[in-house]
Amino acid sequence: MKKSWIIIGVVVLLIVLFYSMFKGYYNDFVTLEENVSQKWSQVENVYQRRADLIPNLVEVVKGYASHERETLEAVVQARSKVGGQINIGKDVLNDPQAFSKFQQAQGALSSALQRLMVVVEKYPDLKADGRFADLQSQLEGTENRISVERGRFNQAVQAYNTTIRRFPANIMAGIFGFQKKVYFQSDAGTEKAPQVKF
């Protein structure tokens, strides 16, 4: 009789230990994944801020440089491509191809904005316009915020990915369906943050 109670006690103890271990890992995964989602929301937020500034910027530039239609249209087109992708949700974090498309669209918009700033150099009156100076300041601040938020996002992804890949957490992550998240990576030749000069 004593032997059966010992066996039952050991089985109960093992069940409690496994439950605690599974619960601990699962809760850690959820916490880290929610942190990644929160950081992603911040990235989307600053990209949205940049997209919101662009129509005003284009309108101000149009007033001074209306014959620079090709450059202005390139900015508007790049913004429209990005517009449908800004709030694409956290599901993109598990899909490297979708994430790459998102990053390429944002890169194209940055490139179009840089071309617009080169055009602006030809118009000293535009550079002196108060509305333009204000938009310039806001855009510079937004570009800095994008860089900062992308860095914070990558740190959260690193913590999450490292946790779900360590043994024995990797087994638990596989059981619960937690997948590796995608990092922001620099495009070739963009080791430095874009500089917006007016």
Q: What is the CATH number of the domain that holds 52?
A: 1.20.1440.20
Q: Is residue 87 part of a domain?
A: yes
Radius of gyration of the chain (CA): 25
Q: Which two tokens stand for residue 39?
A: 């950081």
The string of pLDDT tens digits covering residues 37-71 is 999 999 999 998 988 888 888 888 877 776 677 77
pLDDT value of residue 62:
78
pLDDT value of residue 84:
61
Q: Is residue 65 part of a domain?
A: yes
Total count of domains within the chain? 1
* Sign of the dihedral defined by the CA atoms of residues 28, 31, 32, 33, in that order: positive
pLDDT value of residue 198:
45
Output the furthest CA–CA distance in the chain (Å, rounded): 97
Q: Which two tokens stand for residue 94?
A: 């598990």
Q: Which two tokens stand for residue 36?
A: 């990644």
* Sign of the dihedral defined by the CA atoms of residues 14, 31, 181, 159, in that order: negative
Q: Is residue 9 part of a domain?
A: no
